Amino acid sequence: MEFLSPGRAVDATGTAEAGHVQVFAVVELDAVILAEDPLARVRIAGLPAVERAVRVARKVGATRVTIIRSSDDRANLVAWRANRTGPLLVIRADQLVHTPLVQPLVAALPAEGLVAAVGPVGDLTVYAGAFAATGAATKSSLDALAAGTPDTEVVAGATPVRHGDIACASIATPAERRAAHRLLYKILIKPQDNAITRHLYRPVSFPLTRLLVWTPITPNQISYLVATLVAIGCWITATRSPLAGTLVVLAASYLDCCDGEVARVKLLSSRFGAWIDTIVDELSSVGYMVALGWYCERVLGPSYLGALPFDPWKAGIALGVVTYLWSVYCIYYNIIVAVGSANSQDYVGRFEVAPGKEPSSVRLVPVAAKAIATTRELPPVLAWMATYLPYAVRRDFLSWAAVAFVAAGLEHVMFVGLVAGGVVTGVIVSIDHARLRSLRRSCARRGLVVEAP
Protein backbone atom coordinates (compact mmCIF):
# COMPACT_ATOMS: atom_id res chain seq x y z
CA MET A 1 0.00 0.00 0.00
CA GLU A 2 1.58 3.28 -1.08
CA PHE A 3 0.34 5.80 1.46
CA LEU A 4 3.63 7.45 2.46
CA SER A 5 5.98 9.73 0.61
CA PRO A 6 8.91 7.32 0.10
CA GLY A 7 11.44 9.81 -1.23
CA ARG A 8 12.46 11.23 2.12
CA ALA A 9 13.16 8.66 4.78
CA VAL A 10 14.26 9.96 8.17
CA ASP A 11 16.37 7.94 10.57
CA ALA A 12 16.38 8.15 14.36
CA THR A 13 18.77 11.10 14.37
CA GLY A 14 16.30 13.32 12.59
CA THR A 15 18.42 13.86 9.49
CA ALA A 16 16.63 13.24 6.19
CA GLU A 17 18.15 11.45 3.22
CA ALA A 18 16.93 14.35 1.08
CA GLY A 19 16.79 17.65 2.90
CA HIS A 20 16.82 18.24 6.65
CA VAL A 21 14.18 17.98 9.32
CA GLN A 22 14.31 20.59 12.05
CA VAL A 23 14.49 19.02 15.50
CA PHE A 24 13.19 20.99 18.47
CA ALA A 25 12.59 20.42 22.15
CA VAL A 26 9.30 18.62 22.73
CA VAL A 27 6.85 20.55 24.92
CA GLU A 28 3.31 19.63 25.91
CA LEU A 29 3.45 16.35 24.01
CA ASP A 30 0.01 14.75 23.94
CA ALA A 31 -0.64 11.13 22.99
CA VAL A 32 -3.67 9.34 21.57
CA ILE A 33 -3.86 5.55 21.94
CA LEU A 34 -6.12 3.85 19.38
CA ALA A 35 -7.59 0.88 21.28
CA GLU A 36 -10.91 0.16 19.55
CA ASP A 37 -9.74 -3.22 18.29
CA PRO A 38 -10.30 -6.13 20.76
CA LEU A 39 -6.60 -6.97 20.29
CA ALA A 40 -5.82 -3.96 22.48
CA ARG A 41 -6.88 -6.09 25.45
CA VAL A 42 -4.50 -8.95 24.63
CA ARG A 43 -1.86 -9.37 27.34
CA ILE A 44 1.79 -9.69 26.33
CA ALA A 45 4.29 -10.32 29.15
CA GLY A 46 1.68 -9.41 31.75
CA LEU A 47 0.50 -6.14 30.19
CA PRO A 48 -2.55 -5.48 28.00
CA ALA A 49 -1.44 -4.07 24.66
CA VAL A 50 -3.26 -0.79 25.39
CA GLU A 51 -1.49 -0.32 28.73
CA ARG A 52 1.87 -1.03 27.10
CA ALA A 53 1.12 1.65 24.47
CA VAL A 54 0.29 4.15 27.23
CA ARG A 55 3.58 3.42 29.02
CA VAL A 56 5.50 3.76 25.75
CA ALA A 57 3.93 7.19 25.23
CA ARG A 58 4.85 8.22 28.77
CA LYS A 59 8.42 7.00 28.31
CA VAL A 60 8.99 9.31 25.34
CA GLY A 61 7.64 12.36 27.15
CA ALA A 62 3.86 12.45 26.72
CA THR A 63 2.38 14.49 29.55
CA ARG A 64 -1.24 13.73 28.65
CA VAL A 65 -2.57 10.47 27.21
CA THR A 66 -6.09 9.61 26.10
CA ILE A 67 -7.35 6.17 25.07
CA ILE A 68 -9.80 5.77 22.18
CA ARG A 69 -12.00 2.74 22.81
CA SER A 70 -15.15 3.79 20.93
CA SER A 71 -16.59 6.28 18.43
CA ASP A 72 -17.74 8.42 21.35
CA ASP A 73 -14.12 8.72 22.51
CA ARG A 74 -13.16 9.82 19.00
CA ALA A 75 -15.86 12.48 19.00
CA ASN A 76 -14.41 13.97 22.20
CA LEU A 77 -10.88 14.25 20.81
CA VAL A 78 -11.17 17.88 19.72
CA ALA A 79 -12.47 18.96 23.13
CA TRP A 80 -9.72 16.95 24.88
CA ARG A 81 -7.09 18.74 22.81
CA ALA A 82 -8.57 22.25 23.27
CA ASN A 83 -6.05 25.04 23.92
CA ARG A 84 -3.07 22.70 23.46
CA THR A 85 -0.49 23.66 20.86
CA GLY A 86 2.29 21.12 21.28
CA PRO A 87 3.00 18.02 19.17
CA LEU A 88 0.62 15.08 19.00
CA LEU A 89 1.64 11.41 19.10
CA VAL A 90 -0.73 8.65 17.94
CA ILE A 91 -0.10 4.94 18.63
CA ARG A 92 -2.12 1.91 17.56
CA ALA A 93 -2.67 -0.53 20.43
CA ASP A 94 -3.76 -3.54 18.37
CA GLN A 95 -0.16 -4.79 18.38
CA LEU A 96 2.81 -5.16 20.71
CA VAL A 97 4.62 -1.82 20.85
CA HIS A 98 7.86 -0.78 22.50
CA THR A 99 9.69 2.53 22.84
CA PRO A 100 11.87 2.12 19.68
CA LEU A 101 8.65 2.49 17.67
CA VAL A 102 8.11 6.11 18.69
CA GLN A 103 11.49 7.37 19.91
CA PRO A 104 12.63 8.09 16.32
CA LEU A 105 9.37 9.97 15.68
CA VAL A 106 9.93 12.27 18.65
CA ALA A 107 13.57 12.79 17.62
CA ALA A 108 12.52 13.65 14.05
CA LEU A 109 9.61 15.99 14.78
CA PRO A 110 9.51 18.81 12.19
CA ALA A 111 8.49 22.37 12.96
CA GLU A 112 5.40 21.73 10.82
CA GLY A 113 4.12 18.48 9.40
CA LEU A 114 3.47 14.81 9.86
CA VAL A 115 5.95 11.94 10.43
CA ALA A 116 4.99 8.26 10.51
CA ALA A 117 6.84 5.18 11.75
CA VAL A 118 7.66 2.67 9.02
CA GLY A 119 9.32 -0.72 8.91
CA PRO A 120 10.84 -3.17 8.56
CA VAL A 121 14.13 -1.47 7.75
CA GLY A 122 14.40 -0.73 4.05
CA ASP A 123 10.65 -0.74 3.38
CA LEU A 124 9.25 2.80 3.41
CA THR A 125 5.69 1.83 2.49
CA VAL A 126 4.72 -0.32 5.51
CA TYR A 127 3.07 1.84 8.15
CA ALA A 128 4.12 0.56 11.60
CA GLY A 129 1.22 1.94 13.63
CA ALA A 130 2.44 5.26 15.05
CA PHE A 131 2.68 8.83 13.80
CA ALA A 132 3.35 12.30 15.16
CA ALA A 133 2.10 15.70 14.04
CA THR A 134 3.13 19.30 14.67
CA GLY A 135 1.72 22.70 13.74
CA ALA A 136 -1.34 22.77 11.51
CA ALA A 137 -0.95 19.05 10.83
CA THR A 138 -1.84 18.42 14.46
CA LYS A 139 -5.30 19.93 14.08
CA SER A 140 -6.00 18.35 10.71
CA SER A 141 -4.97 14.87 11.85
CA LEU A 142 -6.94 15.21 15.09
CA ASP A 143 -10.04 16.38 13.19
CA ALA A 144 -9.68 13.41 10.84
CA LEU A 145 -9.40 10.94 13.72
CA ALA A 146 -12.39 12.53 15.47
CA ALA A 147 -14.43 12.11 12.27
CA GLY A 148 -13.64 8.39 12.22
CA THR A 149 -10.92 8.42 9.56
CA PRO A 150 -8.57 5.42 9.97
CA ASP A 151 -5.03 6.36 10.95
CA THR A 152 -3.79 4.50 7.85
CA GLU A 153 -5.46 7.25 5.79
CA VAL A 154 -4.42 10.09 8.09
CA VAL A 155 -0.72 9.31 7.44
CA ALA A 156 -1.06 9.59 3.67
CA GLY A 157 1.81 11.77 2.46
CA ALA A 158 3.59 11.75 5.85
CA THR A 159 7.37 11.70 6.02
CA PRO A 160 8.40 8.12 6.82
CA VAL A 161 10.68 7.51 9.81
CA ARG A 162 12.30 4.11 10.28
CA HIS A 163 11.53 2.66 13.66
CA GLY A 164 14.22 1.09 15.83
CA ASP A 165 14.78 -2.54 16.80
CA ILE A 166 12.19 -4.45 18.85
CA ALA A 167 9.61 -1.76 18.06
CA CYS A 168 6.37 -3.59 17.29
CA ALA A 169 4.89 -6.97 16.46
CA SER A 170 1.54 -8.39 15.40
CA ILE A 171 -0.52 -10.19 18.07
CA ALA A 172 -3.51 -11.32 16.01
CA THR A 173 -2.95 -15.08 16.37
CA PRO A 174 -1.55 -17.33 19.12
CA ALA A 175 1.54 -17.98 17.00
CA GLU A 176 2.10 -14.24 16.53
CA ARG A 177 1.69 -13.66 20.26
CA ARG A 178 4.33 -16.26 21.04
CA ALA A 179 6.62 -14.59 18.51
CA ALA A 180 5.88 -11.19 20.09
CA HIS A 181 6.88 -12.55 23.51
CA ARG A 182 10.17 -13.86 22.10
CA LEU A 183 10.86 -10.53 20.42
CA LEU A 184 10.15 -8.52 23.56
CA TYR A 185 12.36 -10.68 25.76
CA LYS A 186 15.34 -9.87 23.55
CA ILE A 187 15.58 -6.53 25.40
CA LEU A 188 16.73 -8.47 28.49
CA ILE A 189 20.13 -9.08 26.94
CA LYS A 190 22.41 -6.33 28.26
CA PRO A 191 25.67 -5.45 26.50
CA GLN A 192 27.35 -4.91 29.90
CA ASP A 193 26.78 -8.52 30.94
CA ASN A 194 29.99 -10.46 31.43
CA ALA A 195 30.45 -14.17 30.78
CA ILE A 196 29.48 -15.13 34.35
CA THR A 197 26.23 -13.20 34.18
CA ARG A 198 25.38 -14.51 30.71
CA HIS A 199 26.07 -18.18 31.42
CA LEU A 200 25.38 -18.60 35.14
CA TYR A 201 22.74 -16.01 36.02
CA ARG A 202 20.60 -15.12 32.99
CA PRO A 203 19.62 -18.76 32.21
CA VAL A 204 17.97 -18.84 35.66
CA SER A 205 16.75 -15.24 35.96
CA PHE A 206 15.11 -15.14 32.51
CA PRO A 207 12.56 -17.92 33.27
CA LEU A 208 11.92 -16.40 36.69
CA THR A 209 11.32 -13.00 35.11
CA ARG A 210 8.90 -14.54 32.62
CA LEU A 211 6.85 -15.70 35.62
CA LEU A 212 7.14 -12.47 37.60
CA VAL A 213 5.91 -10.23 34.75
CA TRP A 214 2.50 -11.91 35.01
CA THR A 215 2.20 -10.95 38.69
CA PRO A 216 1.47 -7.53 40.27
CA ILE A 217 4.92 -7.44 41.91
CA THR A 218 6.94 -4.34 40.96
CA PRO A 219 10.68 -4.06 40.34
CA ASN A 220 11.14 -2.03 43.52
CA GLN A 221 9.33 -4.69 45.53
CA ILE A 222 11.74 -7.26 44.10
CA SER A 223 14.65 -5.06 45.25
CA TYR A 224 13.18 -4.89 48.75
CA LEU A 225 12.79 -8.68 48.77
CA VAL A 226 16.43 -9.04 47.68
CA ALA A 227 17.52 -6.78 50.55
CA THR A 228 15.48 -8.88 53.00
CA LEU A 229 16.98 -12.13 51.72
CA VAL A 230 20.51 -10.73 51.93
CA ALA A 231 19.91 -9.56 55.51
CA ILE A 232 18.64 -13.02 56.44
CA GLY A 233 21.57 -14.67 54.67
CA CYS A 234 24.09 -12.46 56.45
CA TRP A 235 22.49 -13.19 59.82
CA ILE A 236 22.58 -16.93 59.18
CA THR A 237 26.19 -16.68 57.99
CA ALA A 238 27.32 -14.79 61.08
CA THR A 239 25.39 -16.71 63.76
CA ARG A 240 24.40 -20.14 62.43
CA SER A 241 25.75 -21.79 59.28
CA PRO A 242 28.02 -19.92 56.86
CA LEU A 243 27.16 -22.34 54.04
CA ALA A 244 23.39 -22.00 54.48
CA GLY A 245 23.71 -18.23 54.79
CA THR A 246 25.93 -18.00 51.72
CA LEU A 247 23.41 -20.02 49.70
CA VAL A 248 20.66 -17.60 50.74
CA VAL A 249 22.82 -14.67 49.61
CA LEU A 250 23.47 -16.49 46.31
CA ALA A 251 19.72 -16.99 45.81
CA ALA A 252 19.23 -13.28 46.46
CA SER A 253 21.78 -12.44 43.77
CA TYR A 254 19.73 -14.44 41.25
CA LEU A 255 16.54 -12.67 42.26
CA ASP A 256 18.43 -9.39 42.02
CA CYS A 257 18.74 -9.91 38.26
CA CYS A 258 14.97 -9.94 37.94
CA ASP A 259 14.13 -6.43 39.14
CA GLY A 260 15.82 -4.78 36.17
CA GLU A 261 14.49 -7.40 33.77
CA VAL A 262 10.89 -6.90 34.93
CA ALA A 263 11.36 -3.13 34.75
CA ARG A 264 12.55 -3.27 31.14
CA VAL A 265 9.83 -5.67 29.99
CA LYS A 266 6.97 -3.82 31.71
CA LEU A 267 8.36 -0.32 31.04
CA LEU A 268 8.68 0.44 34.75
CA SER A 269 12.29 1.61 34.78
CA SER A 270 12.89 4.66 36.95
CA ARG A 271 15.84 6.56 38.36
CA PHE A 272 14.62 5.82 41.90
CA GLY A 273 14.40 2.11 41.12
CA ALA A 274 17.90 2.11 39.63
CA TRP A 275 19.30 3.68 42.80
CA ILE A 276 17.41 1.28 45.06
CA ASP A 277 18.92 -1.62 43.12
CA THR A 278 22.38 -0.07 43.32
CA ILE A 279 22.22 0.62 47.06
CA VAL A 280 21.02 -2.92 47.77
CA ASP A 281 23.88 -4.36 45.70
CA GLU A 282 26.59 -2.37 47.46
CA LEU A 283 25.22 -2.91 50.97
CA SER A 284 24.89 -6.62 50.23
CA SER A 285 28.59 -6.89 49.43
CA VAL A 286 29.62 -5.00 52.58
CA GLY A 287 27.12 -6.88 54.75
CA TYR A 288 28.27 -10.32 53.63
CA MET A 289 31.92 -9.45 54.20
CA VAL A 290 31.08 -8.27 57.75
CA ALA A 291 28.98 -11.39 58.41
CA LEU A 292 31.78 -13.71 57.30
CA GLY A 293 34.32 -11.87 59.45
CA TRP A 294 31.96 -12.01 62.40
CA TYR A 295 31.62 -15.79 61.98
CA CYS A 296 35.42 -16.22 61.84
CA GLU A 297 35.88 -14.10 64.96
CA ARG A 298 33.19 -16.06 66.81
CA VAL A 299 34.34 -19.56 65.79
CA LEU A 300 38.10 -19.24 65.23
CA GLY A 301 38.73 -16.63 67.90
CA PRO A 302 41.09 -13.64 68.04
CA SER A 303 44.11 -15.87 68.73
CA TYR A 304 43.74 -17.90 65.52
CA LEU A 305 46.73 -16.16 63.92
CA GLY A 306 48.80 -16.22 67.07
CA ALA A 307 49.41 -13.71 69.82
CA LEU A 308 48.65 -10.43 68.13
CA PRO A 309 48.10 -7.14 69.93
CA PHE A 310 44.73 -6.79 68.19
CA ASP A 311 41.83 -8.91 67.04
CA PRO A 312 42.63 -9.73 63.36
CA TRP A 313 39.01 -10.43 62.46
CA LYS A 314 37.69 -7.14 63.83
CA ALA A 315 40.58 -5.30 62.22
CA GLY A 316 39.80 -7.02 58.93
CA ILE A 317 36.13 -6.06 59.20
CA ALA A 318 37.05 -2.44 59.89
CA LEU A 319 39.54 -2.34 57.01
CA GLY A 320 37.04 -3.99 54.66
CA VAL A 321 34.21 -1.60 55.54
CA VAL A 322 36.42 1.47 55.08
CA THR A 323 37.88 0.34 51.75
CA TYR A 324 34.51 -0.89 50.42
CA LEU A 325 32.74 2.37 51.27
CA TRP A 326 35.58 4.46 49.85
CA SER A 327 35.54 2.39 46.66
CA VAL A 328 31.78 2.84 46.37
CA TYR A 329 32.22 6.59 46.68
CA CYS A 330 34.93 6.73 44.00
CA ILE A 331 33.04 4.45 41.62
CA TYR A 332 29.78 6.34 41.87
CA TYR A 333 31.46 9.71 41.65
CA ASN A 334 32.96 8.43 38.41
CA ILE A 335 29.76 7.11 36.85
CA ILE A 336 27.53 9.98 38.01
CA VAL A 337 29.82 12.94 37.34
CA ALA A 338 31.77 11.69 34.32
CA VAL A 339 29.80 8.83 32.74
CA GLY A 340 26.21 9.84 33.44
CA SER A 341 25.01 6.48 34.71
CA ALA A 342 23.70 4.77 37.83
CA ASN A 343 25.19 1.40 36.88
CA SER A 344 28.59 0.48 38.32
CA GLN A 345 29.18 -1.73 35.25
CA ASP A 346 29.65 1.52 33.29
CA TYR A 347 32.70 2.55 35.34
CA VAL A 348 35.50 3.98 33.19
CA GLY A 349 39.12 4.12 34.34
CA ARG A 350 40.51 7.06 32.36
CA PHE A 351 39.15 10.08 30.52
CA GLU A 352 40.37 12.71 28.12
CA VAL A 353 39.04 16.16 27.28
CA ALA A 354 37.08 16.77 24.07
CA PRO A 355 35.40 19.96 22.74
CA GLY A 356 31.91 20.60 24.07
CA LYS A 357 28.82 21.99 22.42
CA GLU A 358 29.61 25.58 23.44
CA PRO A 359 32.85 27.51 22.72
CA SER A 360 33.90 27.61 26.39
CA SER A 361 32.78 24.09 27.30
CA VAL A 362 34.38 20.66 27.18
CA ARG A 363 33.26 17.12 27.81
CA LEU A 364 35.03 14.13 29.30
CA VAL A 365 35.41 11.21 26.91
CA PRO A 366 36.46 7.70 28.02
CA VAL A 367 39.95 6.76 26.83
CA ALA A 368 38.86 3.12 27.05
CA ALA A 369 35.43 1.80 28.01
CA LYS A 370 36.76 -0.56 30.68
CA ALA A 371 37.65 -0.39 34.34
CA ILE A 372 41.42 -0.92 33.99
CA ALA A 373 42.63 1.29 31.15
CA THR A 374 46.29 1.12 30.10
CA THR A 375 48.36 3.70 28.25
CA ARG A 376 50.34 1.14 26.23
CA GLU A 377 49.81 -2.25 24.69
CA LEU A 378 50.28 -5.07 27.17
CA PRO A 379 51.47 -8.66 26.69
CA PRO A 380 48.53 -11.03 26.05
CA VAL A 381 48.47 -12.40 29.61
CA LEU A 382 48.45 -8.93 31.21
CA ALA A 383 45.90 -7.68 28.68
CA TRP A 384 43.63 -10.60 29.60
CA MET A 385 44.04 -9.79 33.30
CA ALA A 386 43.26 -6.10 32.70
CA THR A 387 40.06 -7.12 30.93
CA TYR A 388 38.80 -9.83 33.26
CA LEU A 389 40.34 -9.04 36.68
CA PRO A 390 37.60 -6.48 37.47
CA TYR A 391 35.08 -9.34 37.28
CA ALA A 392 36.70 -10.85 40.38
CA VAL A 393 35.36 -8.02 42.55
CA ARG A 394 31.84 -8.13 41.10
CA ARG A 395 29.02 -9.51 43.17
CA ASP A 396 27.97 -12.13 40.61
CA PHE A 397 31.45 -13.71 40.70
CA LEU A 398 31.93 -13.32 44.47
CA SER A 399 28.60 -15.00 45.27
CA TRP A 400 29.66 -18.22 43.56
CA ALA A 401 33.25 -18.00 44.83
CA ALA A 402 31.92 -17.66 48.37
CA VAL A 403 29.83 -20.83 48.01
CA ALA A 404 32.88 -22.77 46.80
CA PHE A 405 35.18 -21.56 49.58
CA VAL A 406 32.63 -21.92 52.39
CA ALA A 407 31.62 -25.40 51.20
CA ALA A 408 35.31 -26.36 51.43
CA GLY A 409 35.52 -25.05 55.00
CA LEU A 410 37.67 -22.09 53.95
CA GLU A 411 35.51 -19.30 55.35
CA HIS A 412 38.57 -17.52 56.72
CA VAL A 413 40.27 -17.61 53.30
CA MET A 414 37.19 -16.16 51.65
CA PHE A 415 37.02 -13.40 54.25
CA VAL A 416 40.67 -12.50 53.72
CA GLY A 417 40.08 -12.54 49.98
CA LEU A 418 37.11 -10.18 50.30
CA VAL A 419 39.09 -7.75 52.43
CA ALA A 420 42.10 -7.94 50.11
CA GLY A 421 39.84 -7.41 47.10
CA GLY A 422 38.40 -4.33 48.76
CA VAL A 423 41.87 -2.95 49.40
CA VAL A 424 43.06 -3.59 45.82
CA THR A 425 39.88 -2.10 44.40
CA GLY A 426 40.25 0.89 46.71
CA VAL A 427 43.81 1.54 45.48
CA ILE A 428 42.84 1.29 41.80
CA VAL A 429 39.77 3.49 42.01
CA SER A 430 41.62 5.99 44.22
CA ILE A 431 44.21 6.49 41.46
CA ASP A 432 41.44 6.88 38.86
CA HIS A 433 39.57 9.23 41.18
CA ALA A 434 42.62 11.42 41.67
CA ARG A 435 43.14 11.59 37.88
CA LEU A 436 39.51 12.50 37.28
CA ARG A 437 39.53 15.21 39.96
CA SER A 438 42.78 16.59 38.58
CA LEU A 439 41.35 16.66 35.05
CA ARG A 440 38.26 18.55 36.19
CA ARG A 441 40.38 21.05 38.20
CA SER A 442 42.60 21.60 35.18
CA CYS A 443 39.56 22.46 33.07
CA ALA A 444 38.29 24.84 35.76
CA ARG A 445 41.66 26.65 35.95
CA ARG A 446 41.49 27.26 32.19
CA GLY A 447 38.01 28.74 32.55
CA LEU A 448 36.32 25.80 30.82
CA VAL A 449 32.93 24.43 31.80
CA VAL A 450 32.72 20.65 31.92
CA GLU A 451 29.41 19.57 30.41
CA ALA A 452 27.25 17.12 32.30
CA PRO A 453 27.35 13.64 30.71
- Residue 13: inside a domain: no
- Residue 273: inside a domain: yes
Residues 117 and 201 occupy one common structural domain: no
Q: Give me the phi and psi of 122, to 5 degrees please.
A: 95, -15
Q: Are the CB atoms for 266 and 216 separated by under 8 Å?
A: no
Upstream peptide bond of 48 is cis (omega within 30 degrees of 0)? no
What confidence score (pLDDT) does residue 346 get?
A: 79
- pLDDT-derived band at 270 (thresholds 50, 70, 90) equals confident
- Residue 4: inside a domain: no
- Residue 11: inside a domain: no
Q: Taking 60 as the threshold, does the pLDDT of residue 25 lie above it?
A: no
Q: Provide the CATH number for the domain around residue 415.
A: 1.20.120.1760
Q: Rounded CA gap, 72 and 70, in Å?
A: 5
- Residue 176: inside a domain: no
What confidence score (pLDDT) does residue 154 get?
A: 94
Burial (CB < 10 A; 0-12, 13-18, 19+), residue 103, is buried
- Residue 234: inside a domain: yes
Q: Provide the CATH number for the domain around residue 75.
A: 3.90.550.10
What is the domain extent for residue 414? Answer: 190-445
Q: Taking 50 as the threshold, does the pLDDT of residue 311 lie above it?
A: yes
Residues 279 and 144 occupy one common structural domain: no
Predicted TM-score (pTM) of this structure: 0.81
Domain count of the chain? Answer: 2
Q: Taking 70 as the threshold, does the pLDDT of residue 452 lie above it?
A: yes
What confidence score (pLDDT) does residue 14 get?
A: 36
Residues 117 and 233 occupy one common structural domain: no
Residues 153 and 204 occupy one common structural domain: no
- Residue 175: inside a domain: no
**What would the 3-class secondary structure string for 376-425 be?**
CCCCHHHHHHHHHHHHHHCHHHHHHHHHHHHHCCCHHHHHHHHHHHHHHH
Residues 204 and 154 occupy one common structural domain: no
pLDDT averaged over every residue in the chain: 86
Residues 242 and 166 occupy one common structural domain: no
Last residue of a domain, one of 105, 138, 170: 170
- Residue 41: inside a domain: yes
Residues 411 and 326 occupy one common structural domain: yes
Residues 323 and 403 occupy one common structural domain: yes
Helix (H) and strand (E) counts in the chain: 16, 13
